[in-house]
A and B are shown apart, each in its own frame.
Chain A
């Protein structure tokens, strides 16, 4: 204690110059303080984000990475291989359909349920009960959702019992292995599991709309539909846009649901960019080409993220 104090006392005795250097040191220390608090985050981001991205870009320009001891620089050869692969084109198309339809359905269902749950007619307790029920699918792990729907949609499952009993079809349907149905089926499962996230955000948004806007609309003799179109929707627009972008980004990255229901089959009908890349790496062990696919997926996601961040900034 005293040892550390002495230099300070000495410095104080030698009046003229030292204080300024001490002040400067103090200022430097102050300036470094925020970086001290940020250092764990920065270290983690460098190890787990910057380095891996640099690595994957490096891999994508080499051949035989990871599997062979020596690999050579091959330029954009791996990219050419991915971009000319018809399966990759299919995967992109499937991913866009899967994510696009999911986002629209999440919005429609989320909005419908949120409007019902926001009605002032119902008591708070009743609303809380229904809200809990409507959130349920979102609380189940995607692996569980996948197993559950495999059981429900199995050839002898309850869904087939219902469609045959009520006469929609003659015989049971192979929802997940029929090439014409599989993509719709996995999209439906994703819709089921993902709408609550939209619903909750919209519910919060609905509660934030000032009441007098509706009063004013009512004075102008606007009916419920007009109130929805001219008050509710414009007020929720910023939330809807950011939710839709976020949902689209996340859905394009969906892996577990596809992997555990169809595995990308039958005959690539449900292949997504995520399953395509995974198979290249961990089924065919072609890590170089897989890295090229991974970088392409990254670039596409970053384009979407750019719009998301720009939208968020414009709201601040």
Chain B
């Protein structure tokens, strides 16, 4: 009997065995995660490192992460050039305007979708969803004609309006989803007191929907900040260009100033990174909701 149990320890693993197995599993998992993290992180680390080098050191053999000439020169070159600062101002202004306008229009539309029954609701809903699938390249040629005809070529409103086509559908779908999670009794109470539907929306639903509006806002800002095709086609002069186009211009201008391009890339990524770090929870919730429910 004793001989048997000693010969087959596998049959009854002790507590210590289980703990050890768990710990091994955990270490293996962390090693895998660290190795896997190289895939997303190393290129970005290299971007950061290159932005502190002189242009001559970018392609030196053998490559080093930190060189003796570590400096902020590339950043200084970007931040003291009024033309490049203008790219940043344009991007902030356009993305900010798109975000505010999208939120207003989307909240109004979402209220209609969430709280009313009306003829054509399904059709309008399907239209909003399918707008997401219309390729930007299809709209580019008529937008070009339309924007020129309306005198909006090379202006802020031209870009802001066109961007809203791509931010609205997602914003409406998400806000509708958010309103649907709020009990109807909330706004019914306002109507019983004789308030108009708009009062119910503005005084009751909007204040409790801040988390939903934050995720929509962050996502909208990101789409507008990242837009490239329309920014490229619907503007002409450098004072109207946004950051993504500015980076491309930097590539064409002189011999490649890689360190400046990397510095501008880092600076151009900061707004989205900051938004992400501050609103991570809303952000991930929004992304997931978009995929799970949209």
Contacts and interface: CB of A to CB of B under 8 A. Distances in A.
Interface residues of B, number: 90
A298 B40 contact: no
Interface in B124-146: 124, 126-146
A222 interface: no
A125 B46 CA distance: 26
B9 interface: no
A243 interface: yes
B41 A136 contact: yes
Nearest to B26: A121
B135 A192 contact: no
Interface residues of A, number: 95
Given A142-B228, A204-B291, A239-B292, A298 B142 contact: no
Given A133-B40, A148-B265, A157-B59, A297 B164 contact: no
Nearest to A41: B109
A122 B30 contact: yes
Interface string A269-300: 00001100110011000010011001101100
11 contacts: A44-B168, A45-B131, A116-B33, A116-B36, A121-B25, A142-B228, A143-B226, A148-B262, A151-B261, A246-B294, A249-B133
Interface stretch (A48-56, A73-81, A82-90): A48-56
B251 interface: yes
A66 B288 CA distance: 42
Contacts of B182: none
Contacts of B25: 121
A200 interface: yes
Interface stretch (A12-20, A31-39, A176-184, A225-233): A31-39
Contacts of A142: 226, 228, 244
Contacts of A260: 248, 251
A40 interface: yes
A214 interface: no
A253 B29 CA distance: 36
Contact of B59 (A154, A192, A298): A154
A304 interface: yes
B133 A290 contact: no
Given A133-B37, A141-B226, A151-B262, A294 B140 contact: yes
B273 interface: yes
A268 interface: no
B62 interface: yes
A62 interface: no
Contact of B265 (A128, A147, A201, A287): A147
Nearest to A198: B291
A192 to B, nearest CB: 7
Nearest 7 pairs between A and B by C-beta?
A204-B288, A305-B133, A143-B244, A52-B142, A201-B291, A34-B116, A256-B228
Contacts of B265: 140, 144, 147-148
Contact of A33 (B61, B116, B129, B131): B116
Candidate in A35, A147, A302 with the most chain B CB atoms within 10 angstroms: A147
Contact of A37 (B22, B39, B111): B111
Contacts of B106: 41
Given A55-B145, A157-B59, A38 B112 contact: yes
A301 B133 CA distance: 6
Contacts of A252: 135
Interface in A170-209: 192, 196-197, 200-201, 203-205, 208
Contact of A49 (B131, B145, B292): B131
A281 B140 contact: yes
Contacts of B63: 158, 161
Contact of B108 (A38, A255, A287): A38
A59 interface: yes
A132 interface: yes
Contacts of A204: 284, 287-288, 291-292
B142 A53 contact: yes
B168 A149 contact: no
B268 interface: yes
B233 A294 contact: no
A44 B165 contact: yes
B272 interface: yes
A290 B141 contact: yes
Contact of A119 (B29, B276, B292): B29
A139 B269 CA distance: 7
A308 interface: yes
A51 B146 contact: yes
